Amino acid sequence: MNNISIKAKLNALLVLYTIGALIFQPLASIIQVGVLIYLSLKREWKYFIYGTTLFICAAIIGAAFYKHSLNQNKQFYMIALAVSVFANLFWFAATIKQLKRILYIDE
């Protein structure tokens, strides 16, 4: 009944997260919170702590960017926001790779 493999589902989640991170940040944030909850349930503390730290940093940078975007430091905030988005993308890709190891099912 379940024709889609776990690897395909995780790859689709990675693609959806990437689209969300680059185009619509709230979608990426919702996915990231869901993955963080799942990681805590699986006791993958290394990925959970790293992801939570990046999520908090991204929230702070995002809030600072939106508050001060009309200020003269706009370029600094744009760079910080870009670094934050790509750091989260790299974390998410590494987390998906780890989840594939955890959930590997020989088909």
| 68 φ, ψ (degrees, to nearest 5) | -110, 20
- The structural domain count of the chain equals 1
Identify the pLDDT of residue 44.
Answer: 84
Two tokens at 10? 């995780």
Quick count: other Cβ atoms within 10 Å of Cβ 91? 18
Q: Does 28 reside within a domain?
A: yes
Q: Does 1 reside within a domain?
A: no
Q: Which domain holds residue 18?
A: 6-102
Nearest CA among 47, 29, 27 for reference residue 39: 47
Q: Does 45 reside within a domain?
A: yes
Q: Does the pTM of the predicted model rise above 0.85? A: no
Identify the pLDDT of residue 80.
Answer: 75
Q: Does 13 reside within a domain?
A: yes
Identify the pLDDT of residue 2.
Answer: 56
Q: Does 58 reside within a domain?
A: yes
Alpha helices in the chain (DSSP H): 6-22, 25-41, 45-68, 74-102
For the chain, list residues with pLDDT below 70. 1-4, 68-73, 105-107
Identify the pLDDT of residue 106.
Answer: 41
